[in-house]
Amino acid sequence: MDKDFAARRRRDLIIAAVLAVIAALTPLFVKDVVVQNILILTLMYAGLSQSWNILSGYCGQISLGHALYFGLGAYTTELLFTKFGVLPWFGMLAGGVVSALIAMGLGYPFFRLRGHYFVIATIVIAEIGLLLFHNWEWAGAAMGITIPIRGDSWLKFQFLRTKLPYFYFALALCCLAWFVTWWLENSKWGFWWRAVKDNPDAAESLGVDVFNSKMGAAAVSAFLVAVGGSFYAQFVSYIDPESVMGFQFSLLMALPAVLGGIGTLWGPVLGAAILIPLTELTRFKFGGSGRGVDLIVYGTLIVLISLALPRGLLSLFSRPKKTGAAR
Amino acid sequence: MTALLETRGVWQRFGGLVANSDVSISVGRGEIVGLIGPNGAGKSTLFNLIAGVLPPTQGSILFDGEDVTHMPAAERCQRGVGRTFQVVKSFETMTVIDNVIVGALVRNTVMREARRKAHEVLEFTGLAARADVLASDLVPAEKRRLEVARALATEPKLLLLDEVLTGLTPTEAQTGVALVRKVRDAGITVLMVEHVMEIVMPLVDRAIVLDLGKVLVEGKPADVVRDPKVISAYLGDRHAVGA
């Protein structure tokens, strides 16, 4: 049995490596900028959703306010860059740390809430964050921040003539989030998180530090999402509150995981691979008037998934466990 | 040698209701002690106070020579208090082995060792064949057993069993009894709350009878069941007169 388990872990790692190599080679064949753009966003959302999944899927603390951390990552990076000339790479790190700290600060009161009340709190907090940035003059308020273009450079992480560097960064982020999840899955934290999700009282009786488990999950999750946010800011080179902290980002982090299989290693990647191209294509097809069509797509998918496959698409692939037979 | 567990003048009030009043009991090392009493006697409350779900209104609880009155449940577990729940609380989306690993992580920080320990405990509790089954797919008797396995994986000094034998078929109850003996033989002290007198009495070394929140009688099971006070608490005064 131990051998089965180790083999499964190794198999996951090999599949991930193969997929990463295939993904890394796609730009050789895909020259179309629109398609490259979709690939970048797909990888980014896969990474974001994977990070969201750590807190909400594994630890069971459903957050619909992760846009806050995404926006904080973007703002920290760009404020440091435009106001103090700090390179985006350091800004990215700073954004991650700021978000992780804020996630823990918010967790302190809110992790005492259970179930729906926690979800509501996350939505409200993210909206408050959005409003604060809307009114914060120094941070550009509603006008936002335009990132000054100084020409293609890895140092400043900005590229005008090619999208490839962004593509590889998004791929790296996705791989990082996946690998962190893979690694944590078979660690004390991973087990603690799942125990907390399933039954906090029982977890407590088994020596699990329930509160700090949640805090740890929130910090890791927020850090990775913030790195994604700061990448996105560099990628689009203009940010305003709505475009990096809007509620749609919270949805776009949650939906791929829910679609693919919440609390699973592969769910977010699978979900993002289906959902993001679909929404980007509908948006592209319907142009400016298409705003709202992507929402119809989300809605329909969610209804279908919750009716037919409440454990996500991934449950199609896992062999049902024999309940009667003992091995 | 001092007792492993001691409660001193423990009171628990819920609003106007007094669930435990001035309860002082002690459990010695290596004993199997039964905590019995009619419905509403305050057994579960006392049990939760010992496990650390909530602190008592008044009084103190000593475990292994240390005052643990205000220590949270998770820390008590690290000190060596393991428990099961009357209403089973399995980690339903996790497999049986993963459920037990959660417990094993208390004393094993390396995953490989926690996993080995968990397998060992499954072997001990007779659940080894079900290791890779989801906890939600177990039958009720197996879920009870999983509760015990999970608690044992924390390597407790004291195991608190909350009605693990209740609601089982006679055969299942007998295997349960055998398991409790095996646990004691492994050097673990057992305090069990139990409803079914005929199962628990032959098993325990000592019985503590609670009634209306107070310790009514305490002693050898054979003496306890003949005690008029116990009979009257369970069956009413009319039956006690003849005893």
- Considering the domain architecture, whether residues B99 and B59 belong to the same structural domain is answered as no
Angle formed by the axes of helices A164-185 and A210-236, nearest 10°: 170
Question: Which amino acid does the sequence have at A261?
Answer: G
Q: Which domain holds residue B39?
A: 1-73+156-170+183-243
- Considering the domain architecture, whether residues B139 and B86 belong to the same structural domain is answered as yes
Report if residue B144 sits inside a domain: yes
Number of domains in chain A: 1
Chain A residues with beta carbon closer than 8 angstroms to that of B123: none
Q: What is the DSSP letter of B82?
A: E
Specify whether the CB–CB gap between A302 and A258 falls below 8 A.
yes
Q: What is the DSSP letter of B12?
A: E
Specify whether the CB–CB gap between A85 and A247 falls below 8 A.
no
Q: Is the pLDDT of residue A294 over 80?
A: no
Given CB atoms, is A17 within the 8 Å cutoff of chain B? Answer: no
Q: What is the pLDDT of residues A77-110, one digit of tens each?
A: 999 999 998 999 999 999 999 999 999 999 999 9
Q: Which residues pair with B12 in a beta bridge?
A: B20
- Considering the domain architecture, whether residues B141 and B124 belong to the same structural domain is answered as yes
- Considering the domain architecture, whether residues B87 and B139 belong to the same structural domain is answered as yes
Which residue is associated with the tokens 């009495």? B201
Q: What is the pLDDT of residues A14-42, one digit of tens each?
A: 999 999 999 999 988 888 888 999 999 99
Closest CA to A58 of A194, A221, A218: A194
Number of domains in chain B: 2
Q: How many residues does chain A have?
A: 327
Specify whether the CB–CB gap between A230 and A95 falls below 8 A.
yes
For B94, the 3-state DSSP assignment is: coil
Report if residue B67 sits inside a domain: yes
Report the relative pairing of strands B206-211 and B214-219 from DSSP bridges. antiparallel
DSSP string, A63-95: -S-THHHHHHHHHHHHHHHHHH---HHHHHHHH
Which residue is associated with the tokens 């209306």? B212
Report if residue A201 sits inside a domain: yes
* Cβ pairs bridging A and B (under 8 Å): 95
Report the 10 Å Cβ neighbour count for A327. Answer: 10
- Considering the domain architecture, whether residues B8 and B61 belong to the same structural domain is answered as yes
Report if residue A324 sits inside a domain: no
Specify whether the CB–CB gap between B101 and A191 falls below 8 A.
yes
Looking at this predicted complex, what is its ipTM?
A: 0.91
Given CB atoms, is B54 within the 8 Å cutoff of chain A? Answer: no
First to last CA, chain B: 37
Chain mean pLDDT for chain A: 90
Given CB atoms, is B90 within the 8 Å cutoff of chain A? Answer: yes
Q: What is the pLDDT of residues B6-47, one digit of tens each?
A: 999 999 999 889 999 999 999 999 999 999 888 888 898 999
Report if residue B176 sits inside a domain: no
Q: Do B77 and A205 touch (CB under 8 A)?
A: yes
Query: What's the pLDDT score for residue B12?
Result: 93
Report if residue A257 sits inside a domain: yes
- Considering the domain architecture, whether residues B165 and B145 belong to the same structural domain is answered as no
Report if residue B238 sits inside a domain: yes
Enter the tokens of residue A112: 């005492």
Report if residue B175 sits inside a domain: no
**pLDDT tier at A299 (50, 70, 90 boundaries)?**
confident
* For A204, nearest residue in chain B (alpha carbons): B74
- Considering the domain architecture, whether residues B32 and B132 belong to the same structural domain is answered as no
Percentage of chain A exceeding pLDDT 90: 68
Interatomic CA distance for residues B50 and B12, integer angstroms = 12
Helix, strand, coil shares of chain A as percentages rounded to 5? Answer: 75, 0, 20
Report the relative pairing of strands B206-211 and B32-36 from DSSP bridges. parallel
* Cross-chain CB nearest to A199 (options B89, B106, B115): B89
Report if residue B122 sits inside a domain: yes
- Considering the domain architecture, whether residues B149 and B162 belong to the same structural domain is answered as no
Report if residue A275 sits inside a domain: yes
Which pTM was predicted? 0.90
DSSP string, A122-150: HHHHHHHHHHHHHH-GGGTGGG-EEPPP-
Report if residue B36 sits inside a domain: yes
Report the 10 Å Cβ neighbour count for B160. Answer: 26
Phi and psi at residue B59, to the nearest 5° = 100, 175
- Considering the domain architecture, whether residues B9 and B124 belong to the same structural domain is answered as no
Q: Which domain holds residue A128?
A: 2-316
Element (H, E) at B60: strand B58-63
- Residue A143 backbone class (left: φ over 0; alpha: ψ -120 to 50; beta: rest): alpha
Q: Is the pLDDT of residue A291 over 70?
A: no
Burial B55-87 (b: 16+ CB within 10 A, else e): bbeebbbbbbeeebbebbbbebbebbbbbbbbe
- Considering the domain architecture, whether residues B199 and B107 belong to the same structural domain is answered as no
Which residue is associated with the tokens 């409660």? B7
Q: What is the CATH number of the domain that holds A295?
A: 1.10.3470
Report if residue A325 sits inside a domain: no
Q: Do B102 and A326 touch (CB under 8 A)?
A: no
Q: Considering Cα of A94, then A97, then A103, then A106, what sign does the dihedral take?
A: negative
- Considering the domain architecture, whether residues B166 and B238 belong to the same structural domain is answered as yes
Given CB atoms, is B83 within the 8 Å cutoff of chain A? Answer: yes
- Considering the domain architecture, whether residues B162 and B191 belong to the same structural domain is answered as yes
Report if residue A203 sits inside a domain: yes
Q: Is the pLDDT of residue A264 over 90?
A: yes
Q: What is the CATH number of the domain that holds B222?
A: 3.40.50.300
**pLDDT tier at A327 (50, 70, 90 boundaries)?**
very low
Report if residue B177 sits inside a domain: no
Which residues of chain B are modeled with pLDDT < 70? 1, 239-243
Report if residue A150 sits inside a domain: yes
Report if residue A322 sits inside a domain: no
